[in-house]
């Protein structure tokens, strides 16, 4: 196995660090945004919709009672020898009854939707919490490891004298000073130990995954 690791540019580490930091911020913001949307959805179903249809049921019960009372009054006239022309009142009772049943069905549906959303949210919470743990602990750990790697490589480069492979700089880059073509930044040939910390697996955080 090769005992050295060749690093072509330290700028790459800074680019990776910047991208990884943005990933951490974006991930945390996304989780917060999703949690807010979930809370709004549950509140809308539990408070707005349930409250609305309960109010509709009360209002439509009153309308049904009014229609039944009107039908009852019309039929009472038949006891005095009059013909009860109650077809319109019967139609109003049927319409009021249908509207009441519609509101009751809507309330039942809303309650079922709430339970369904709650179940889906419960299944989402586990993976979401695992991701949050990685973003809260794993990302800072990785960024710290990248910072230490860059510091180590910069220190290694500072003490290395260009001139040959043994000095820590590739021989091709060492001859660049004598060439008329401007030389690129030297490639650091660093011991693999520099990367060992970053390669270690992150400690398992089981909090919130039950």
* Residue 36 belongs to some domain of the structure: yes
CA max distance for the chain: 126
What pLDDT sits at residue 6? 63
User: Residue 82, class by beta-carbon neighbours within 10 Å (0-12 exposed, 13-18 middle, 19+ buried)?
Assistant: exposed
- Count of domains in the chain? 1
- The model's pTM is 0.56
* Residue 210 belongs to some domain of the structure: no
* Residue 140 belongs to some domain of the structure: yes
pLDDT tens readout for residues 80-123:
666 566 788 889 999 999 999 999 999 999 999 999 999 999 99
The CATH number assigned to the domain holding 177 equals 1.10.287
* Residue 28 belongs to some domain of the structure: yes
* Residue 142 belongs to some domain of the structure: yes
What pLDDT sits at residue 49? 94
Integer Cα distance of 86 and 88 in angstroms: 5
* Residue 207 belongs to some domain of the structure: no
User: Residue 64, class by beta-carbon neighbours within 10 Å (0-12 exposed, 13-18 middle, 19+ buried)?
Assistant: buried
Tokens 């930044």 correspond to 185
Give 96-107 as a DSSP string: HHHHHHHHHHHH
Is residue 61 scored above 60 in pLDDT?
Answer: yes
Structural domain including 138 reads 5-199
**Arithmetic mean of pLDDT over the chain:** 76
Mean pLDDT across 141-164: 75
């Amino acid at each position: 196995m090769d005992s050295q690791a060749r690093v072509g540019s330290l700028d790459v580490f800074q680019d990776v660090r910047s991208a990884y930091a943005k990933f951490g911020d974006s991930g945390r913001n996304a989780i917060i945004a999703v949690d807010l949307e979930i809370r709004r959805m549950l509140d809308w179903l539990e408070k707005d919709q349930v409250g609305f249809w309960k109010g509709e049921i009360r209002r439509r019960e009153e309308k049904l009672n009014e229609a039944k009372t009107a039908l009852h009054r019309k039929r009472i006239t038949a006891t005095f020898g009059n013909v009860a022309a109650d077809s319109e009142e019967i139609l109003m009772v049927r319409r009021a009854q249908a509207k009441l049943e519609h509101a009751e069905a809507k309330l039942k549906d809303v309650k079922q939707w709430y339970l369904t959303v709650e179940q889906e949210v419960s299944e989402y919470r586990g993976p979401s919490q695992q991701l949050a743990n990685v973003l809260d602990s794993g990302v800072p750990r990785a960024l710290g490891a990248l910072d230490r790697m860059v510091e180590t490589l910069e220190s290694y480069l500072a003490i290395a004298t260009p001139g040959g492979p043994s000095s820590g700089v590739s021989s091709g880059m060492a001859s660049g000073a004598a060439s008329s073509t401007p030389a690129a930044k030297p490639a650091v040939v660093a011991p693999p130990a520099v990367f060992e910390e970053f390669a270690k697996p992150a400690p398992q955080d089981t909090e919130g995954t039950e």
